[in-house]
């Protein structure tokens, strides 16, 4: 639009409005200060609106508003682990329940139950994730094929003292017993055999050392004893693969199954080699996070470690 179509700004009228607003602001400020000194809450704004150079009203500063008081909500169960209806759950799985809010330990532990045929399972409990997750480690491996019920009864309180909204429960099924071995000490019908013959010094799931939950079995042996493939497969690791494993070998058996041989003194295979069951992989050693010469033997299924005893033949 042409400049002539705009009406010149009347600066004198703007200044007059500013003077008027300043007087109103001073009067309101005096009333607000007086009300505060008398303990009376003012309904007006502490700082009124002002006028800019274009004659426009600026936004008023409302001052500090009322502080909202947080309302504590009663707790609810978000989920269980394992989940409802799961089958083939590992016998050494941890059992847990997650709540929507931090919980009181004593009442929540009393309300949490893991039952087998109506009998509570024994185990140790711990809290995680800001006291919102209660975790139970059963004292013993769960029976093969068992139907286990997890539930939280009434009586569980939040850390704020509010009771659980509704009780909750789920059921899951433990993995089935593996096929029986064909002969003592030999290979099973599925092709598994012992990689080293010797006493087991630490079993799966135990915590006998500072390294925590044991994700395999430790088989005692002397440095230099031969370690052989527990089943046929393809070597995918041969050497150092992680900080604690030391020299190690890992074999892929297909279908998500891998076997792990750790703390070796010597590796006598290579990545990519297809080995039969019983083939020499290396020698017992004491490398990595080891407290003496032994073989740490592990089996993982779908990326999760399972008890190797389930696969190895009886001896």
- 190, 252, 189, 199: which is closest to 221 by C-alpha? 199
Cβ contact 160:181 at 8 Å: no
Sorted by where each starts, the structural domains of the chain and their CATH numbers stand as 9-55 (no CATH), 77-173 (2.60.40.1220), 200-310 (2.70.70.10)
pLDDT on residue 99: 96
Query: 3-state DSSP helix/strand/coil percent for the chain, to nearest 5?
Result: 15, 35, 55
- 92, 311, 290, 286: which is closest to 204 by C-alpha? 92
pLDDT in tens, the chain (315 residues): 566 655 666 666 666 776 676 676 667 666 666 655 655 444 444 444 555 555 555 555 555 666 666 778 999 999 999 889 998 888 888 899 999 999 999 999 999 999 998 899 999 999 988 999 999 999 888 888 899 999 999 999 999 999 998 999 999 999 887 654 443 344 454 689 999 998 887 888 776 556 667 788 989 888 999 999 999 999 999 999 887 889 999 999 998 899 999 999 999 999 999 999 999 999 999 998 887 889 999 999 988 889 998 899 886
3-state secondary structure labels for all residues of 164-179: CCCCEEEEEEECCCCC
- Taking CB atoms within 8 Å and a gap of at least 24, the contacts of 13-19 are 13/55, 14/51, 14/53, 14/54, 14/55, 17/51, 17/55, 18/50, 18/51
Inter-CA distances, 80 with 76, 138, 153, Å: 12, 15, 14
Q: In terms of pTM, does the model score above 0.85?
A: no
pLDDT on residue 290: 82
């Amino acid at each position: 639009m042409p400049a002539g179509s705009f009406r010149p700004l009347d600066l004198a009228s703007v200044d007059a409005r500013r003077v008027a607003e300043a007087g109103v602001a001073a009067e309101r400020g005096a009333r607000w200060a007086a009300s505060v000194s008398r303990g009376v809450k003012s309904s007006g704004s502490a700082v009124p609106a002002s006028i800019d150079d274009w004659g426009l009203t600026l936004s008023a500063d409302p001052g500090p508003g009322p502080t909202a008081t947080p309302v504590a909500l009663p707790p609810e169960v978000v989920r269980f682990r394992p989940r409802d209806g799961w089958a083939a759950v590992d016998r050494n799985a941890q059992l847990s329940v997650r709540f929507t809010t931090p919980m009181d330990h004593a009442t929540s532990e009393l309300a949490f139950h893991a039952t087998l045929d109506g009998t509570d399972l024994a185990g140790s409990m711990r809290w995680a994730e800001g006291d919102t997750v209660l975790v139970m480690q059963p004292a013993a491996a769960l029976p093969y094929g068992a139907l286990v019920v997890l539930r939280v009864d009434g009586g569980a309180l939040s850390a704020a003292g509010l009771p659980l909204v509704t009780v909750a429960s789920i059921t899951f099924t433990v993995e089935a017993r593996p096929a029986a071995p064909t002969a003592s000490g030999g290979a099973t019908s599925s092709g598994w055999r012992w990689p080293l013959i010797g006493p087991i010094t630490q079993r799966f799931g135990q915590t006998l050392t500072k390294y925590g939950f044991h994700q395999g079995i430790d088989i005692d042996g002397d440095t230099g004893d031969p370690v052989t493939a527990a089943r046929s497969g393809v070597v995918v690791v041969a050497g150092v693969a992680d900080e604690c494993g030391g020299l190690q070998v890992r074999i892929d058996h297909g279908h998500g199954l891998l076997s792990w041989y750790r703390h070796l003194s010597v590796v006598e295979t290579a990545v990519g080699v297809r080995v039969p069951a019983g083939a020499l992989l290396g020698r017992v050693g004491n490398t990595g996070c080891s407290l003496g010469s032994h073989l740490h033997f592990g089996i993982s299924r779908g990326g999760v470690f399972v008890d190797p005893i389930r696969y190895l033949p009886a001896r």
